[in-house]
Amino acid sequence: MIWISAMSTVSKASPLSSGNRVGKDQAVAQLLRPLDRFLDAPEVTELSICRPGEVWTKTFEGWQVHEVPELTEPFLQALITAIIVYNGVAPKSVNYVVLPGGQRGTIAQAPAVIDGTLSFLIRKHSLVVKTLEELDAEGAFDTFTDVSFNKPSAEEANHYLTVQDFTRLEPFEVELLKLKRDGTIREFLEKCVLYKRNIIIAGKTGSGKTTFARSLIEKVPPEERIITIEDVHELFLPNHPNRVHMLYGYGAGRVSADECLAACMRQSPDRIFLAELRGNEAWEYLNSLNTGHPGSITTTHANNALQTFERCATLIKKSDVGRQLEMEMIKLVLYTTIDVVLFFKDRKLVEVFYDPIFSKSKMA
């Protein structure tokens, strides 16, 4: 009866009707009730359903399994169908979805998984915006490795202020090198934002990339005009009143990330923040940083700081534009455009790459 009621509510309304949206919210919310205690638990970061009758939850202590007898096979099929309809996408073997509460989900059904099984993973996002000072006090910056190729001493860095070629450093670059060399990482990060360095935050899923990005963005002067591009709204910017949040997606009636980026360029942003580099938009995003919009902060998945360049180059090469570009050309643009790479693991900064000497040498 729950399945019939929920699906009737979802299927009758028009996609353009606000009443339809409310109906879809209510239908999905009703079916999510067996998961509410996990969705509402602040310590839970992810939920996974692999089979009827049980839920796996992930906290900072690891994975735990819970019996949930309400999650019968028919109930799960009703829940999955309602969520797919709510997102306005066609049911496929793999669907990427968003729940009414903003949580991200990945649904995999046969033939993507063994016939008769399923995988439904929900990633929760934190609503808390921590300051860099709070992260510093929690030890997030206590231990990191400088993986830059050039690590000049104070004397060597000052020498680069006077050289007569592309490797000549600006005074602010020498200042940033000193802060990194001295290990005063919080001040280094603050100054990177102030001096409009282009920053990529890398790490695996759940490593703390988005949490840190929000903290770093808070160091942007509040009078600047910021436009964010996200698939799920997580960059809140509570202290930046002149802000625009653009959303992209893959369902009917949604716009793509590169369409959002094209529109963004016509809205006079001081800074553009793309939540995650992942597809066709990567090349155009890099171009935007070289056409009057420096000071970007974005995230991507990578195994370490240096591998981030390879990861981004591969993403670009797979895109429609990238197929027409040489790999060396793509890497050259990355090396000369991305100033700082910060690699996170287990919500701690573990690697820093900032090497203006290397970057400038690529321009020679």
pLDDT tens sequence across 1-37: 222 222 322 333 333 344 455 567 888 999 999 999 9
Whether the predicted pLDDT of 139 surpasses 80: yes
User: Could you read off the pLDDT of 292-332 as tens digits, one per residue?
Assistant: 889 999 999 999 999 999 999 999 999 888 899 999 999 99
Cβ pair 76, 89 in contact under 8 A: no
In this structure, what token pair is assigned to residue 142? 């206590």
Task: Provide the strand spans (E) within 248-306.
Answer: 271-274, 297-300
Q: What distance, in Å, lies between the first and last C-alpha atoms of the chain? A: 70
Of the listed ranges 63-72, 79-88, 95-104, 275-284, the least confidently predicted one is 275-284
Cβ pair 306, 283 in contact under 8 A: no
In this structure, what token pair is assigned to residue 193? 């934002």
Note the CATH architecture for domain 132-361: 3-Layer(aba) Sandwich (3.40)
Q: Where in the chain is the domain with CATH 3.30.450.90?
A: 2-123
Task: Map tokens 């001493």 to a residue.
Answer: 153
| Cα–Cα nearest to 236, from 154, 128, 160 | 128
**Considering the chain, what is the average pLDDT of its residues?**
88
301-to-122, 208, 233, 311, 321 alpha-carbon distances in Å: 18, 11, 18, 8, 21
- Bridge-based pairing of strands 348-354 and 340-345 is antiparallel
User: Could you read off the pLDDT of 258-277 as tens digits, one per residue?
Assistant: 899 989 999 999 999 998 88
- Of the pLDDT bands very low, low, confident and very high (cuts 50, 70, 90), residue 64 is very high
Q: What was the pLDDT predicted at 338?
A: 96
Right CATH for 2-123 from 3.40.50.300, 3.40.190.10, 3.30.450.90, 3.80.30.20: 3.30.450.90
Q: What was the pLDDT predicted at 235?
A: 87
Q: What was the pLDDT predicted at 321?
A: 86
Q: Where in the chain is the domain with CATH 3.40.50.300?
A: 132-361
